Structure 1
């Protein structure tokens, strides 16, 4: 009995009691999971030159990665995993404004570390692909594994409109799901529906410049590629 009491006492001592730290770590973990599965599916497709993946597998990998990430963190931080969502929650009064920098920073770092994990996982494949040259454009480009880049046909105006439509579709859909008064989604299935929303956006709006509807998901990996060998050209 005494041993059991000591065990519980040790567990209690190891528990994080600071709510801000717990929520920040949850956002970090969730965004890490999102990048690990999402960018991992892209890496498998591109580095195998389409043998072990294609647009459909990527369109499935990202949404299911998001679904898993949301289930893993929704009970702690609400599973925003996206600065745009966190900002919206602040505007709606569902998140303290003081917590916004904590959430955004945690999401950015989670995306950066997630990118490093994907790079480490496929390091040998990166070295074998085009003799280890890290290209941003052209047939052997690999930078798009981590971040989104506009297609060659896209104009600035059309690109801006593309991003506004995609981001608005995501925000309005998620806010509709979170509307407790008119919520028709069964409790516990919200992450699945969010994943389906991401899948539909990716399948229907991904041709112009992928799906950069998440600032942390794009900027974190872009920062990683800048320091990992692709260079500062990833920002141009």
Structure 2
């Protein structure tokens, strides 16, 4: 598999994953969206369908990792060379940022309307109003990246490790393509269903990033977008949805080699 194949597949596939996954978060969150307040199940199925779409697009080109944690797990398992890992990482990050920007374009008018509803008025008490506005604008970050419901470093990290372990061990034990370097046709469908299951069962505490590129790439886009009153990008938490999934993937790769190899 060539470097250009990896980059093409991972950029396209990850962009589609984030476009549909971030898109469902935007649909549920933003003012005047037809799906506003549709709820958690809508979000979990939206992300599952995002995985399904992105993985079908990329499976025949790059193996459809779409996730640095999956790439690490496959490298430990022996499905890909370690020298290919940085190329996969690059494609996944570029794709995630592209997908997040496409969400912004698709919902541009709704972002403007949403921010207008949160606009800070000038005059007495403006600072208090600004503080309240930033608090209300929190869900805008949630369109792009994850945040915990209870902020506790050990708990949040543990949740991401466990959830990513489930994802990666499920991928490693079924449905790999003939080369063993990514998802096969059946594996794409099974993985999408596993992601829905993780979201329903384990997504409540942290929003189940389970993918460093899925969280970090869109978080960078959120930081760069020219949206007034969008709130902070929560960089103090940003390392957890990067480190947690990588640790979970390392454990999953090790368990696979001990139990199944």
TM beyond 0.5: yes
Cα RMSD after superposing both structures: 2.3
Report the secondary structure of 1:150's partner residue. Answer: coil
Paired position in structure 1 for 2:81: 96
Say if 2:33 and 2:110, in contact at 8 Å, map to a contact too: no
Report the secondary structure of 1:124's partner residue. Answer: helix
Cα deviations by residue, 1:54-85 (Å, 9 ceiling, x for unpaired)? 21111111111111111111111110000011
Paired position in structure 1 for 2:209: 212
Say if 2:138 and 2:231, in contact at 8 Å, map to a contact too: no
Paired position in structure 2 for 1:143: 141
Cα deviations by residue, 1:108-127 (Å, 9 ceiling, x for unpaired)? 01000110000011011011
| Alpha-carbon shift at residue 47 of structure 1 (Å) | 0.6
Does the C-alpha gap of structure 1 residues 109 and 132 become closer, same or farther in structure 2, counting only changes over 3 Å?
A: farther
Say if 2:72 and 2:85, in contact at 8 Å, map to a contact too: yes
Q: Does 1:176 align with 2:173?
A: yes
Paired position in structure 2 for 1:193: 190
Does the C-alpha gap of structure 1 residues 179 and 36 become closer, same or farther in structure 2, counting only changes over 3 Å?
A: closer
**Aligned 1:17-28 pairs, distance under 5 A:** 19-28=2-11
Say if 1:226 and 1:234, in contact at 8 Å, map to a contact too: no
Paired position in structure 2 for 1:40: 23
Give 1:163's match in structure 2, choosing from 153, 160, 174. Answer: 160
Give 2:105's match in structure 1, choosing from 114, 117, 120. Answer: 120
Say if 1:146 and 1:221, in contact at 8 Å, map to a contact too: yes
Paired position in structure 1 for 2:242: none
Q: Does 1:59 align with 2:56?
A: no
Cα deviations by residue, 1:89-135 (Å, 9 ceiling, x for unpaired)? 11122111111111101100100011000001101101101317597
| Alpha-carbon shift at residue 161 of structure 1 (Å) | 1.4
Report the secondary structure of 2:47's partner residue. Answer: helix
The separation in 2 between residues aligned to 1:86 and 1:233, in whole angstroms, is 26
Cα deviations by residue, 1:18-52 (Å, 9 ceiling, x for unpaired)? 82112211000000000111100110000148861
> After the TM superposition, which parts of structure 1 deviate over 2 Å for at least 4 consecutive aligned residues?
48-51, 132-141, 229-234
Question: What TM-score comes out, normalization by structure 2 length?
Answer: 0.75
In structure 1, runs of 5+ residues without a counterpart are: 1-17, 181-186
Question: What TM-score comes out, normalization by structure 1 length?
Answer: 0.82
Say if 1:177 and 1:190, in contact at 8 Å, map to a contact too: yes
The separation in 1 between residues aligned to 2:137 and 2:212, in whole angstroms, is 26
The separation in 2 between residues aligned to 1:219 and 1:112, in whole angstroms, is 8
In structure 2, runs of 5+ residues without a counterpart are: 120-132, 178-183, 237-261
